[in-house]
Amino acid sequence: MANNRNNAQDLKLNIAPDVATGTYSNLAIISHSPSEMILDFAQMLPGTPEANVRTRVIMNPIHAKRLLSALADNIQKYEHNFGTITEPTMPSNTDTVPYDILGKA
């Protein structure tokens, strides 16, 4: 695993200015087939009945599992540096609005 991390650190990324600004997402929908994992990142405004997909990422299951591991590792490092991330509780008056990136209500 150390070799993979060293290779990743040596990787030079080119990023176009329009991509560098990023895309905000407050909702993610994850689906899959036997050969692909599809991640749709969307924005949903409070009080609206629909979400707009802003970015779709398609990857094979092996890369999706690596992403999961890398995300868990980075969350652990973040919490070590900045404290535990706590999920907010859902207010009772917004029971139809998804409130987190996983779309849990």
Looking at residue 20, its pLDDT comes to 95
pLDDT digits (tens, 9 = 90+) for 10-39: 889 999 999 999 999 999 999 999 999 999
Give percent of the chain above pLDDT 70. Answer: 77
Residue 9 placed within a domain = no
How does residue 8 score in pLDDT terms, banded at 50, 70 and 90?
low
pLDDT digits (tens, 9 = 90+) for 41-54: 999 998 899 999 99
Residue 85 placed within a domain = yes
Residue 100 placed within a domain = yes
Whether the predicted model's global pTM rises above the 0.85 cut: no
Range of the domain at 49: 23-105
Percentages of the chain per state (helix, strand, coil), in multiples of 5: 35, 20, 45
Which H, E and C letters describe the chain, residue by residue?
A: CHHHHHHHHHCCCCCCHHHHCCCCCCEEEEEECCCCEEEEEEECCCCCCCCEEEEEEEECHHHHHHHHHHHHHHHHHHHHHHCCCCCCCCCHHHCCCCCCCCCCC
The CA distance from 99 to 84, in Å, is: 19
Residue 66 placed within a domain = yes
Q: State the total domains in the chain.
A: 1
